[in-house]
Amino acid sequence: MKITLACAGGMSTGMLVKKMEEYASSQGIEADISACGLSELEERVTGSDIILLGPQVGYQQEDVKKEYPEIPVLVIEMMDYGMMNGEKVFKKAQEVIAAKSK
Q: Which residue numbers are catalytic?
A: 7
Q: What is the number of alpha carbons within 13 Å of residue 6 lying toward its C-beta?
A: 23
Q: DSSP letter for 1, please.
A: -
CA separation for the pair 79, 27 (Å, rounded): 23
Alpha helices in 1-102 (DSSP H): 12-26, 41-44, 61-67, 78-82, 86-100
